[in-house]
């Protein structure tokens, strides 16, 4: 009973915090929110400013390695990835490009020599969570919403880098935490939490960014490491990056992709 009461009080407290912060923000500018917004704006400028905001698409080529409980699984795969700011993504795996995954809206589809199929629900849900809590979405959607609360949480270390930490809280009480390098202002990590759909306990997803190289005026992290509840789950290393590349009109059409893979 005590646990239930504690959980219920937390549920009541969270909206109260958000409502209080909204009332304060409406009456007078909050210095902490102003500082948080300034830090996020500095991050956007560091990532390329207007050039980054106006991107039509991005292309990445690299290799991804899988981990389980922080230990390598031995799964290593080459990938070729196209992505647009509106949430469409195409990933081709292996040097033969014979395994194509397309994400568009809430659809997660795969095309192989066997034809097309929907990805398993848990894999799709995992992708959609990460997409909806990406730095792209934090800047392009959350930061533009006047009802989003911004909190500057001071400086902290992220993989030996001194960072400025900012948390964005949406009106639905969802949150994204971003750590930015205190010198370059480039993102060093992005973290969010969610309830496990089966066990209902809280999980934490974190991505760390390192080894930046600039392409077409856009600083690009060539090392991206993903963690779940502090355990490493995957690591990506890029070989190549390009922006505003020519894309055929059927780039995100799973039927066309499946037909090409079968040939």
Residue 110 pLDDT class (50, 70, 90 cuts): very high
Q: What is the pLDDT of residue 129?
A: 97
**CA 84 – CA 58 distance, rounded (Å):** 6
Q: What angle do CA 109, 68, 96 make, to 5 degrees?
A: 45
Lowest-confidence segment of 4-18, 167-181, 196-210 by average pLDDT: 4-18
Q: Are 234 and 64 in contact (CB under 8 A)?
A: yes
Residue 209, both tokens: 């960014």
Structural domains of the chain, ranges and CATH numbers in brackets: 2-262 (2.50.20.10)
The confidence score (pLDDT) of residue 11 equals 40
Answer whether residue 4 shows pLDDT above 50: no
Q: 15 pLDDT exceeds 60?
A: no
b (16+ CB within 10 A) / e for 198-207: eeeeeeebbb
What's residue 200's pLDDT?
Answer: 84
Would you say residue 12 has pLDDT above 50? Answer: no
Residue 46, H or E segment = helix 31-46
Mean pLDDT over 158-163 rounds to 90
Residues 206/65, Cβ–Cβ less than 8 Å: no
Digit-coded pLDDT (tens) for 222-252:
999 999 999 999 999 999 999 999 999 999 9
Helix (H, G, I), strand (E, B) or coil at 105: coil
Closest residue by Cα to residue 62 from 260, 238, 244: 238
Q: Look up residue 207 and give its DSSP letter.
A: E
Average pLDDT over residues 79-85: 96
So what's the pLDDT on residue 3?
39
For the residues 68-91, what does the mean pLDDT come to? 91
Q: 178-203 pLDDT, tens per residue?
A: 999 999 999 999 999 999 888 889 99
pLDDT attached to residue 197: 84
What pLDDT is attached to residue 68? 86
Average predicted confidence (pLDDT) for the chain: 90
- pLDDT class for 74, splitting at 50, 70, 90? confident
- Tell me, what's the pLDDT at 27? 59
So what's the pLDDT on residue 139?
98
Report pLDDT digits (tens) over 125-147: 999 999 999 999 999 999 999 99
Q: Which helix (H) or strand (E) holds 168?
A: strand 161-169
Q: What are phi and psi of 102, to 5 degrees?
A: -125, 130
Q: What value does the mean pLDDT take over residues 108-115? A: 95
Q: Give the pTM.
A: 0.86
Any residues with CB less than 8 A from the CB of 22 and at least 6 apart, and which? 147, 149
DSSP conformation letters of 170-201: -TTS-EEEEEEETTT--EEEEEEEEE-TTT--
pLDDT tier, 22 (very low <50, low <70, confident <90, very high otherwise):
low
pLDDT the model gives residue 185? 98
């Amino acid at each position: 009973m005590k646990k239930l009461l504690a959980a219920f009080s937390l549920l009541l407290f969270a909206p109260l915090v958000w409502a209080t912060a909204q009332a304060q923000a409406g009456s007078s500018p909050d210095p902490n929110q102003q500082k948080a917004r300034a830090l996020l704006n500095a991050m956007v400028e560091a990532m390329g400013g207007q050039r980054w905001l106006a991107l039509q698409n991005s292309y990445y080529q690299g290799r991804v390695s899988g981990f389980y409980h922080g230990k390598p699984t031995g799964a290593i795969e080459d990938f070729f990835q196209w992505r647009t700011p509106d949430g469409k993504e195409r990933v081709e795996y292996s040097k033969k490009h014979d395994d194509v995954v397309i994400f568009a809206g809430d659809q997660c589809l795969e095309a192989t020599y066997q034809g097309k199929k929907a990805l398993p629900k848990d894999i799709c849900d995992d992708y959609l969570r990460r997409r909806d809590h990406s730095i792209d979405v934090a800047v392009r959607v959350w930061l533009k919403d006047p009802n989003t609360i911004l909190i500057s949480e001071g400086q902290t270390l992220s993989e030996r880098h001194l960072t400025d930490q900012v948390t964005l809280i949406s009106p639905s009480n969802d949150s994204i935490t971003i750590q930015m390098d205190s010198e370059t202002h480039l993102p060093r990590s992005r973290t969010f939490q969610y309830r496990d759909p089966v066990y209902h306990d809280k999980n934490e997803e974190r991505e760390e960014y390192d080894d930046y190289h600039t392409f077409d005026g856009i600083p690009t992290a060539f090392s991206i490491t993903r963690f779940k509840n502090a355990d490493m789950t995957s690591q990506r290393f890029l070989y190549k990056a390009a922006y505003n590349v020519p894309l055929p009109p059927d780039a995100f059409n799973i039927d066309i992709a499946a037909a090409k893979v079968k040939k």
